Chains A and B, each alone.
Chain A
Amino acid sequence: MKLLQNSGVPIYQQIADSFKADILAGKYREGDYLPSIRSLAMELKISVITTKKAYEQLEQVGLVTAVQGKGFYVNAQDSEMLQEQHLRKVEASLSEAIQSARVAGISSGELRSMLDALLEMEES
């Protein structure tokens, strides 16, 4: 895990993102416990409260569950749910793009062609 002190992204967010990627990539399996908040804090040389906040973020999106006194374990990540997660992410990004387009006064047609152009660039 690489943490950047001055990137503008809060440290807890960076940790949460890193674990999210690992969980979605299958590095942690269902029922696995994440490292305890205090040992992770010690390893990463950050405060306990920061790691706790990162884990709570993961808990909010339903990736892990907290067990009193035992820590956080990884929830079942069936492929359907994974797909759902990814889909939601795509949707969110696209609606953000649409919002920006509205603000800039770009028409729907222009937006579509922009998307096509980007897709082409990606494929080539």
Chain B
Amino acid sequence: MEVTSAIKGEKIYKKFKKFELNIPELNIPQGYATALIGENGAGKTTLLNILSGIRMDYKGNLLYFDKYTDKDREFNPEVKDRIGYTGPGKYYLPQWTIGDVEQISKLLFPSFSSEKFNQLCTDLALSINGENRKKKNSNLSDGNKMKLMLSGVFARDTDILLLDEPASPLDPLMRDKLCQMISEYIEEGNGQKSVFFSTHNISDMENITDYAIIMENGTVVEEGFVEDLKEKYILVKGEKEDAEKAKSILYTISTNSYGFEGVCLAEDLDKLAGMDVVEETPSLYQISVAVMKKNTKLVMR
């Protein structure tokens, strides 16, 4: 499928003492919601920090919206105004109140709209009609901190959102709301606006995920449009007798005393002929777990 890239990366490299991020090629499709999936320590936050300009100590080339390089990002005021970012922890200074966040955002981002921000604060029950505006960021719960960050970023006019673990601190209802907000953002952009988010809550975000990038040990191990991935991988379940034989064919397998269950590459499906198996289309969650399992350093028994 032909798609343009919202962000294109080449040979992104960053070395830490015990960890190495090395991504030969990165493409975030424009006009879609892309999920970044991976274990803790896979390098998701580092990658998002590099893309958003928080970290500058990396090697490699980045191209934003097909025309701006990462140098432009630092020296052309337009670029960072088009990139929205929310991150964990120390994003807003702890002593800022909701009101301060509004003032400061106005100062930092030309496209920030106070009206939109206050509407979002009301919609997310963070500060209904201006109450709570004196509340400090450090006194907000994790969920409310995230809501504040989301209000801040959705109140701007951006072309791409880079969201680092937006769903983790949110409750199920708010996750649903987040999906709706992302969906509306993509719809509003009509092919121009993209979202790139990292997540552990794959099943909660699955309904809006168009493209998935799975990372392990600092590199991309699988990526693709979700519908394509669902054709590439097939979930199979079978009887115990076939387990040993299936083990060599399947991509990942887990067995118990009654049978086996595993993920099989579509191209290997013929090799299972003759076995008593049922096939199913896997969910993105199942695919991700399988891919992560294949590449993890964790010991899975």
Contacts and interface: CB of A to CB of B under 8 A. Distances in A.
Interface of A: 8, 10, 12, 36, 38-39, 41-42, 45-50, 53
B235 to A, nearest CB: 12
6 contacts: A10-B281, A36-B190, A46-B207, A47-B209, A47-B226, A48-B186
Which size class do B's interface residues fall under? 20 to 34
Contacts, number: 51
Chain A interface SS verdict (over half): helix
Interface stretch (B48-56, B128-136, B176-184, B249-257): B176-184
A110 B252 CA distance: 46
B136 to A, nearest CB: 35
B204 interface: no
Contact of A53 (B33, B207, B227): B227
A122 B216 CA distance: 58
Contact of B186 (A12, A42, A50, A53): A42
Given A47-B33, A48-B32, A49-B211, A41 B225 contact: no
Given A42-B180, A42-B183, A49-B227, 9 more contacts: A8-B281, A10-B281, A12-B227, A41-B208, A42-B184, A42-B186, A47-B207, A49-B225, A49-B226
A30 B89 CA distance: 54
**Chain B binding surface, main DSSP class:** helix
A41 B281 contact: no
A41 B190 CA distance: 12
Nearest to B209: A47
B66 interface: no
A66 B259 CA distance: 46
B265 to A, nearest CB: 18
A38 B190 contact: yes
A41 B187 CA distance: 8
A50 B208 CA distance: 9
Contacts of A8: 280-281
B230 interface: yes
A45 B178 CA distance: 12
A42 B185 CA distance: 9
B9 interface: no
